Structure 1
Amino acid sequence: MKYYFTTILIFFAFAIQAQKLFETPPGTVRVNDSLYIDKGPVDNIMYLEFTDKVKDLWNLTLHDSLKSLELENINKSLSSHSLNPEQSKEIYNKIILAKNQKISDSINILYYFNHPEYQYHPVVGISKDRARLFCQWRTDMVNLKWSKEIKDDKRKYKKIKYRLPTYEEFELAKKTMEENNNLLLVNQNSPIDLDLKKLLNEDNFILLSIPEFTTSNRNFKEDSPKLKNTDKPNDDYIFFRCICEI
């Protein structure tokens, strides 16, 4: 019995230590053992990096080739997978923001998206298809980064996948962060007032007063009680964030 009890203690000690070694995906907080979620909505500077990288460095052919590879083999395989300039151009044309939509009386969406003053403000007016492409690109960028570090780093890395959260996962994240006292409620309604860099700290999970969606084929349940009548979001100010599977 004493031996059995000692074995259990050793097992739990090892499990706790192993969990500490696993790297938290960039920009996220832990929901449970396999899910992490962005601390706040995706901001303009993150989406701008996405549009810049797609021009020359990323497309779906490359994404598909990386999905089946183990983390330690991803970086070595890059030289054997040629990029497809035509496909990259096609994706770029889909993801750039070309709307002249007004955010305020004096600011339109393109000015808001490109001006340095708003680089840490939530990206707005993004469709679900664009958001999905962003998640796929982000998956590859983080896995590539970790594949380069894995040989020379004592921390343990696991292959990850970014995607859009389900309604249930978003509700679970809110509940978990509230229980952990990491929930930061923000009441500003306009993206112009939402400087995420000033709001975020190491553990904060920012919950906005506007429900988070994308502008087409919305990710969350349309029949949710939270979306009835005046709670339905304004299409002008629709944000998104990613969830990360490990």
Structure 2
Amino acid sequence: MLKYFFLSVLFVGISYGQNYGNIPPGTLKLNDSLFIDKTPVTNEMYLEFLKSKDIFWSMGKHEEIKTMSSYGINRADLGINSNAITKTHLKILSNLANQEKDYFTHPEYRQFPVLNITKAEAKEFCLWRTDMVLLLWAIKSENKKQRTEYPGVIKYRLPKVSELNDAKFHFSKSGDAIRLKGEAQKGLEIIENPENFYFYNIPEFTQAQKVYGNNSREQEPIEVPNIDIGFRCVCEIIE
């Protein structure tokens, strides 16, 4: 069964059993104001984003979240049925029924990096993720004092090329930067429950026009969406 971290925490109260503390979920600390994803965004994470768009999140909701309190939010007040059957779930069920192994939706590939999306879609994911983490912290904080245990204002976004270079250097020094082999899509080597900083054999979107890294074909793709390009987020602590 697919698990959805942000939606399940917000609306059901189930987590993956991880104790994140005040660190942005799924990230490693690069410096005092910047955290970076351990791996590129996975199919499972992106499916969660699409489910959220089906049943909860929109640009209108994004504007509404800006006006919400940063603490004392009750998940029941958000008005969402997390068990709703969505277009995304119908596609997943259809694929399973037909025994298809679609790269994007089949559970076997849930921890593989999401590919074949546009840079605009990657940026929208970052925006959604910012909202979900802020809501998560607002739910976990019963009062203003508890809310001070978490960063005040954050922003998930695509990384700069320099930030990816810094992360590669920083985590290589500590022995925590690992490059995995294999060809996109289904031939990639995948790590379950990653603890270190991983690069896959795929290029990644950045804030610049240029992607970061070459794919397994030793070519730098320039067309989007492209079956070889993935992305990861950084979380910037603004205050």
- Please state whether the residue corresponding to 2:182 is helix, strand or coil: coil
Post-superposition shift, 1:223? 9.7
Q: Deviations over 1:16-58 (max 9, x none)?
A: xxxxx96111111111000001100111111111111111211
Aligned-partner residue type, residue 35 of structure 2: Y
Count of residues paired in the alignment: 196
Please give the alpha-carbon distance, in whole angstroms, between the structure 2 residues aligned to 1:230 and 1:175. 22
Measure the CA separation in 1 of the matches of 2:210 and 2:107: 35
Per the alignment, residue 220 of structure 1 pairs with 208
Specify whether residues 137 and 185 from structure 1 end up closer, same or farther in structure 2 by C-alpha distance, changes over 3 A only. same
The answer on 1:115 being equivalent to 2:106 is yes
Where does residue 23 of structure 1 map in the other structure? Answer: 22
Partner of 1:59: 58
2:180 alignment partner in structure 1: 186
Distance (Å, rounded) in 1 between the aligned partners of 2:46 and 2:210: 26
Unaligned 5+ segments in structure 1 are 1-20, 84-91, 99-106
Conserved 8 A contact 1:186-1:207: yes
Matches within 5 A, 1:33-44: 33-44=32-43
Go from structure 1 to structure 2 and tell me whether the alpha carbon gap of 1:22 and 1:155 turns closer, same or farther (over 3 Å shift). Answer: farther
**Alpha-carbon offset, residue 171 of structure 1:** 1.3
Q: Is the 8 A contact 1:40 1:206 kept in 2?
A: yes
Residue of 195, 205, 209 corresponding to 2:197: 205
Partner of residue 170 from structure 1, selected from 164, 168, 178: 164
Q: Which residue of 1 aligns with 2:5?
A: none
Asked if 1:244 is matched to 2:238, the reply is no
CA distance in 2, matches of 1:154, 1:146: 7
Contact between 1:30 and 1:37, CA under 8 Å: does it hold in 2? yes
Judge conservation of contact 1:128–1:219 (CA < 8 Å) in 2.
no
User: Which residue of the partner structure matches residue 83 of structure 2?
Assistant: none
Instruction: Name the SS for the 2:23 alignment partner.
Output: coil
Per-residue Cα deviation, 1:187-218 (whole angstroms, up to 9, x for no partner): 212231336443x532x1001233213xxxx6
Counterpart Cα distance in 1 of 2:108 and 2:79: 37
Partner of 2:220: 232
Task: State the shift of 1:245 in Å.
Answer: 0.9
For 1:206, what is the secondary structure of its paired residue?
strand
Q: 3-state SS of the aligned residue for 2:104?
A: helix
Secondary structure, aligned partner of 1:209? coil
Distance 1:230 1:197, change over 3 A: closer
1:71-118 Cα distance to aligned partner (Å, 9 max, x none): 226x37996x999xxxxxxxx99x9xx9xxxxxxxx88xx11111111
TM-score normalised over the length of structure 1: 0.67
Which structure's CA Rg is the greater one?
1
CA distance in 1, matches of 2:218, 2:187: 21
Taking the aligned partners of 2:129 and 2:211, their CA distance within structure 1 comes to: 30
Structure having the higher helix fraction is 1
Going from structure 1 to structure 2, the CA distance change for 1:132 and 1:221 (only over 3 Å counts) comes to closer
1:140 to 122, 131, 138: 131
Q: TM-score, normalised by structure 2?
A: 0.68
What's the secondary structure of 1:31's corresponding residue?
strand
Per-residue deviation, 1:176: 1.3
Q: Is the 8 A contact 2:41 2:230 kept in 1?
A: yes
Among 150, 153, 158, the alignment partner of 1:157 is 150
Q: Which runs of 5+ in 2 are unaligned?
A: 1-19, 81-85, 92-99
